[in-house]
Amino acid sequence: MDPATWPHSRSSHSAVLARFGADRAGLAGRALTTGDPPADAVVEEIHAGGKPVRDALATGVRDGLAAVADPPPAVAALLAQAEATPAHVDDDQVKAGCEPYFSSHPASRTIALSAGALVNTYSSPHIAAVLTGTGRLVEAADRRLLETGVWLNAAMLPGGLHRGAPGYVATLQVRMLHAHVRRHVRAHGFDEAAHGVPVNQMDLTRTWLDFTLTSYRAEQAMGFERTPAEIAAVYRYWWHVGHLLGIDPRIVEGIGSHEAATRLDALVDAVTGRASAASAALADASLDSVARLLQDMVGVPVRVGRPVLDALTRRFLGGGAADDLGLPRPALDVLLPPGIAAVRWRHRRRRADPDAWRQVHESGMARARGLVANPGGPTEFQTA
């Protein structure tokens, strides 16, 4: 790429070139300056054509391209791309769902996906800048957490990614929400020269890594371990999620372990930078939301749950990142190891008992189906 087009607040072409080499620097440069061309074209078609285009898209997402009579060109292209099953997709795995996702307690998944994945995503000053541009930075934190869970559980359930299934539909709706946000913030003065394209391929990759590398390592840190084969299955499943989200396959496909994901994460971090004030506000609001949610889920009072979440976030993201987000240093951090050891012992016992292990998965899937069926009203990605 032309170094002159490199977004100036995202390190520099020369620094990334020196550290990662020409191929990786080129990949990063393209990712920073690329959104999601098929989805972006549909948004422009919607703004030009209105309700008939929206109806065609809704029908195609739900029932497939073949069900749309005379589809608009961009809608047809997006649906064709989504329905073109990549060679790596294992239909048996799609039928089974992402089984390792359901092998821990729902509260631990909530913590890992919030204090781990979402807080790390929000620590990007560029992603925080996009959310600032939507005008819903902090006040929507509760709903954003819930809606992320609705989408994710729909996508992880058995058969969820089959065409027309709830996870497939929700993932394409999330993709279109990203495209609508991209257009909106561009029209309201988003600084692309500094940040790159809003919701660009590198930011999508950061989110992909947070739902894989960050969240599963967070659960491991809480005592919920997975085998290397289970982790490999998670990444393979997420290749398909990435395909549906419009992530460039050259970036994520082929990653099958935390070690490989860590190498990609290093590239993403190199072009992300330190958390901003908006990042800190998002993290604080999100952790408050999770503390209230945990009070409802497991009866932990907010005054106890929030310090625990602060301590766990420090473990998940590291002290430097936590300091950048303005998170306090809870004294109770010293009390976590015995609790984590007890969780690890109990988790290993359940894994060793086939009936108990099956019950763990069945219970997790039942909870997920309940959340997907009753999200508490239409989600933003459904109505975008």
pLDDT at 138: 63
Angstrom distance (rounded) from CA 296 to CA 229: 34
pLDDT confidence band for 354 (50 / 70 / 90): very high
In a domain, 144, yes or no: yes
What single string gives the DSSP state of each residue in 171-206? Answer: HHHHHHHHHHHHHHHHHTT--HHHH-STT-HHHHHH
Q: Kindly report, residue by residue over 288-297, the tens digit of the pLDDT.
A: 999 998 898 8
pLDDT at 139: 62
pLDDT over 80 at 132, yes or no: no
pLDDT at 27: 95
Q: What integer is the mean pLDDT of 155-173? A: 97
Are 115 and 309 spatial neighbours (Cβ–Cβ below 8 Å)?
yes
In a domain, 145, yes or no: yes
pLDDT confidence band for 329 (50 / 70 / 90): confident
In a domain, 80, yes or no: no
In a domain, 308, yes or no: yes
Q: Kindly report, residue by residue over 230-262, the tens digit of the pLDDT.
A: 999 999 999 999 999 999 999 999 999 999 999
pLDDT at 124: 94
pLDDT confidence band for 67 (50 / 70 / 90): very high
What b/e sequence results for 24-50 when a residue is b if at least 16 CB atoms lie within 10 Å of its CB, and e otherwise? bbebbbbbbbbbbebbbbbbebbeeee
pLDDT over 70 at 137, yes or no: no
Residues 6+ apart with CB under 8 A from 9: 125, 126, 194, 195, 273
Angstrom distance (rounded) from CA 309 to CA 111: 8
| pTM metric for this prediction | 0.95
In a domain, 51, yes or no: no
pLDDT at 383: 84
- Largest CA-CA distance found in the chain, in angstroms, rounded: 63
Angstrom distance (rounded) from CA 187 to CA 34: 17
pLDDT over 90 at 364, yes or no: yes
pLDDT at 349: 96
In a domain, 48, yes or no: no
Dihedral angle, C-alpha 239, 244, 246, 249, nearest 10 °: 30
List the structure tokens of 302. 């907010």
In a domain, 303, yes or no: yes
- Per-residue H/E/C for the chain: CCHHHCCCCCCCHHHHHHHHCHHHHHHHHHHHCCCCHHHHHHHHHHHHHCHHHHHHHHHHHHHCHHHCCCCCHHHHHHHHHHHCCCCCCCHHHHHHCCHHHHCCCHHHHHHHHHHHHHHHHHCCHHHHHHHHHHCCCCCCHHHHHHHHHHHHHHHHCCCCCCCCCHHHHHHHHHHHHHHHHHHHHHHCCCCHHHHCCCCCHHHHHHHHHHHHHHHHHHHHHCCCCCCHHHHHHHHHHHHHHHHHHCCCHHHHCCCCCHHHHHHHHHHHHHCCCCCCHHHHHHHHHHHHHHHHHHHHHHCCCHHHHHHHHHHHHHHHHCHHHHHHCCCCCCHHHHHHHHHHHHHHHHHHHHHHCHHHHHHHHHHHHHHHHHHHHCCCCCCHHHHC
pLDDT at 135: 61
Q: What integer is the mean pLDDT of 111-135? A: 88
pLDDT at 145: 85
Cα distance from N-terminal residue to C-terminal residue, the chain: 33
Q: What integer is the mean pLDDT of 150-172? A: 97
Number of separate domains in the chain: 1
Q: Which of 43-52, 82-91, 122-131, 322-331 has the highest mean pLDDT?
A: 43-52
In a domain, 43, yes or no: no
Angstrom distance (rounded) from CA 221 to CA 277: 27
Residue-range definition of the domain harbouring residue 178: 85-383
